[in-house]
Amino acid sequence: MQGWPDTPFPPKRVHKVGERLLCESVDGALCWLDGTSLEVVGDPTQPFPGRITHAFVEDDGGAPRYIGLWVERELRAARMASLDLQEPLTAGVERHELRASEQEEPGVMQVAGALWSHPLEAEPLGLVSHGERIAFCMHRRGIYCIGFSSEEHWRVPLVSWPELAPVPDGSVVVCLVSAPAPDDADGVERLWAWSAGGGWSVHDWENGALLDMGSLDLRERLESAWVSENGEWLLASAPERMARWNPGREPESVHVTGPVNDALWIDGGWSCAGWREDLRWNERGLKRKQRPEIGMALLDHEEGLMLLDNIGGWSPFQF
């Protein structure tokens, strides 16, 4: 299969929005793609001069909204905002304008075209939603839960794992995921927080109460976590390991060539966008096939599973 058009910038993520795709660049720009042809629709737009560290699309009821976290680390500026995806994307201020504004009155300039936009007092470290609630974490501050109109529901302190004290930044949260708690026969969704050292905590979505916690020996710093429909976790660690974990068992760890940027649970196993390799990991073991570029995102396309690489090229996933 040949001839798929490139994205207009080095990409980071793609989100399905009806019959379209919303593509993010590594520098924080957004653009629309046709969901079938993958052609670019309109010009790339940067709503805020910072990188998008975390984001998701909520498309319940036909009124899609994009919730994102923008961070400009050099200027220590961070924003959380909601965009109405039924409206055109709006270009924001330039970086030099943000710099001048932050020096004069921090937090004034917001994400352009947003339904709401708020400055954050610390670096955001995770973002996830469940139902009508959004949870995010801020470094050394806590975990916060808000609604889609940005009204606050609760906030709780960060958990620390004493056994991870010898690990540098071992208790720093790196991602949030919504999934049932271990041994929960009812399958009730809970909020999971994962730390760099392999610590995990489970919280009640209603009030943030801590329900369970523990830690895993992952050997390297955890960066990302995904969970399957049957409760199996895929844990990607920097720079060269990933693990499968079923609660109640020891994690199974393997060596890979570099970071895993995306993963999907398909047909009883994990399909992973790796560092110049496509990975397929199931009960029969790990299979890998090399590719010339770095895999950034996976797309369940009508032509089959597609991979988007770091230079903006699309190609079929090799498994």
CATH classification at residue 268: 2.130.10.10
- Tell me, what's the pLDDT at 183? 75
- Identify which has the larger pLDDT, 311 or 219: 311
Are residues 93 and 144 both part of a single domain?
no
- Tell me, what's the pLDDT at 270? 98
Are residues 208 and 307 both part of a single domain?
yes
Q: Alpha carbon of 95 to those of 22, 28, 53: distances in Å?
A: 23, 12, 17
DSSP 128-151: EEETTEEEEEETTTEEEEEETT--
Are residues 83 and 154 both part of a single domain?
no
Question: Torsion angle, CA of 27/29/35/39, rounded to 10 degrees?
Answer: -90
Are residues 93 and 110 both part of a single domain?
no
The Cα 85–Cα 93 span in angstroms is: 20
Number of domains making up the chain: 2
Question: For residue 273, how many other CB atoms are within 10 A of its CB?
Answer: 24
Q: What percentage of residues in the chain have a pLDDT greater than 70?
A: 99
* Mean of the per-residue pLDDT values of the chain: 95
Q: What percentage of residues in the chain have a pLDDT greater than 90?
A: 93
Read off the pLDDT of each residue in 212-222 and give the average, rounded to a whole number.
94
Read off the pLDDT of each residue in 214-242 and give the average, rounded to a whole number.
95
Domain of 27? 1-97
Are residues 112 and 226 both part of a single domain?
yes
Model confidence at 279: pLDDT above 50? yes
Are residues 160 and 92 both part of a single domain?
no
The helix (H) or strand (E) run that includes residue 99 is helix 95-104
Are residues 145 and 294 both part of a single domain?
yes
Query: Which band of pLDDT confidence, cut at 50, 70 and 90, is reported for residue 1?
Result: very low
- The last residue of one of the domains, among 97, 118, 147, is 97
- The last residue of one of the domains, among 69, 97, 125, is 97
Are residues 62 and 107 both part of a single domain?
no
Are residues 150 and 225 both part of a single domain?
yes
CA angle, residues 32, 267, 279, in degrees to nearest 5: 70
Model confidence at 171: pLDDT above 80? yes
- Tell me, what's the pLDDT at 215? 97
Are residues 139 and 78 both part of a single domain?
no
Question: Torsion angle, CA of 31/36/38/43, rounded to 10 degrees?
Answer: -30
Helix (H, G, I), strand (E, B) or coil at 75: coil
- Tell me, what's the pLDDT at 273? 98
- Tell me, what's the pLDDT at 184? 78
Model confidence at 2: pLDDT above 70? no
Q: What is the maximal distance between C-alpha atoms in the chain?
A: 59
Are residues 182 and 299 both part of a single domain?
yes
- Tell me, what's the pLDDT at 216? 96
Are residues 289 and 217 both part of a single domain?
yes
The Cα 196–Cα 295 span in angstroms is: 22
Read off the pLDDT of each residue in 252-271 and give the average, rounded to a whole number.
96
Q: Is the preceding peptide bond at 239 cis, omega within 30 degrees of 0?
A: yes
For 218, phi and psi rounded to 5 degrees? -100, -5
- The last residue of one of the domains, among 97, 130, 159, is 97
The reported pTM is 0.94
- Tell me, what's the pLDDT at 185? 75
- Are 29 and 94 in contact by the 8 Å Cβ rule? The answer is no
Read off the pLDDT of each residue in 177-192 and give the average, rounded to a whole number.
89
Model confidence at 259: pLDDT above 50? yes
CA angle, residues 185, 186, 190, in degrees to nearest 5: 100
